[in-house]
Structure 1
Amino acid sequence: MRDLTHLERLEAEAIQILRDGVAQADRPVLLFSGGKDSTVLAHLALEAFYPSRPPLPLLHVDSTWEFREVVEFRNRFAAEHEFELVLHHNEEGRKQGLNPVEHGTLYTTVMRTEALTQALDVGAYDVILGGARRDEEASRAKERIVSVRNQNHGWDPRRQRPELWSLYNWRRSPGQTLRVYPLSNWTEFDLWAYILEKNISLCPLYFAARRPVSLRNNERVVIDDEARAASLGLSIDAEELVRFRSLGCWPVTAALPSAASDLRDIVKETLVSSKSERNGRISDEGSLERQKQAGYF
């Protein structure tokens, strides 16, 4: 038998984690944002359980400020691959009219963290699979692949279980849940190389196109909804050739100038980039650790 390639080893590891996680769960769920990481994870789930229909739903916590193309891609992906799609947003936050520009951390807490914990409680999900990777951000580098959460979905980085020789502890005490990260050992470049090798379809926002942008503090914010943008004091300043490396709420996610309109060009651009993947997240304020301790993914 031939030796596995680097990508084949990562793929095999992720598939085994997915199978083990579903086997250990009473109600498993896969978090799906429409971004590249969750799209790859969903494709791995399709491979892991082929030819059966995926035995777990996709859960999208909708902040109400998602890119329209993300929503369209999310709906199309779920329908095409026969995933059950579960949507949730925080009605109380929507009634308060919270937005990511004016309300910052409060918005993230209410519309992302609290909305996620609400959705997990409503669905009674006990094993929650997501596409976070260790190389993305400092607090995510502290995570184990199988991460225990308390009955309030809180995370204590000081009480992480050892994971020696890829042995994972799936035990749960009453009230505990598990957050599971099958892509933990992948890098951004691994992800793009895998997407290229498997020719995985992604949300169009990852590919360069001419888009209307507002210039804000030397960042390019793509105007996804002119009426809502005007309410935030944003207007179209130019139409430029841009794309995204990471997707979040559209008023606080900066695009980068780029002519990379196909997968090969994106892989080349990623390989030589000197900026971090989350550099375009205007809303990132230091570490996400505090939000993660409160239940954020």
Structure 2
Amino acid sequence: MKIKPINKKLKLYGFNNLTKTLSFNLYDICYTLSPEHQKEYIEYIDEEYNADRLVSILTDVAKIIGANVLNVANQDYDPQGASVTMLVAENEVLHEQPVNVVDNESPGPSSEAVVGHLDKSHITVHTYPESHPYKGISTFRADIDVSTCGQISPLKALNYLITSFEPDIAIIDYRVRGFTRDVNGKKYYIDHKINSIQNYMTGKTRELYQMIDVNIYQENIFHTKMILKEFDLDHYLFGTAKKELPPAERKKIKQRIKKEMLEIYYGKNMPTVRG
């Protein structure tokens, strides 16, 4: 089912009251052979994604979606993890001003090239480093919410966030809530075209991942899950290299990592993956 976009010349009665929320969980999976390496991985993640770095990323997000930053609160936690909350606001929308809608499904910039402007509502990120008690697996999760009210949409920040975190797995939700009125009083429940969250990522990004969509078009709810297609054991090992391990050990570790990734991707526990 395709959504027919609203005419870009639509004139609103007062403020655009639509709320657009982009929420996702980003996962990084790692395997450590010793408790010492596990501790080093958690320390590495805590440093790589500390509160100051996250503030920098969210500031870029605000620029991309066109929002003015009003306030920033950030905190690093002991023993691990960090949170950032950023309040953003859109410039005043004048009576009968044409809507500046997202008129096509196209990716925003990557993390290598950030351009744009700022404006609206709130952006938050919380990080959750954790580890398996005895099987060597460590997981880093970042939960991000970009919520805007009015003309601007968080979708243009999606590609930047994916390329900034380079996750092994991403679970993404986008929803448009509420309604806004035109000058004749007619209600609109969405003000831009969208068929799939995937269309807001570059082809280069999409090629890296296996993706599944579950969309409820009539409710303006869109859901996409992503998992890396290619599996290179060296990508997941921390503190050691694949060539240092005997074949039997490599196979066992590969099975454990794949099982962990598939359980996160499908949201349920499952048998060990063979091969």
TM-score (norm 1): 0.23
TM-score, normalised relative to structure 2: 0.24
Q: Which of these two proteins has the greater Rg computed from alpha carbons?
A: 2
Greater relative contact order (Cα < 8 A, sep 6+): 2
The structure where helix makes up a greater share of residues is: 1
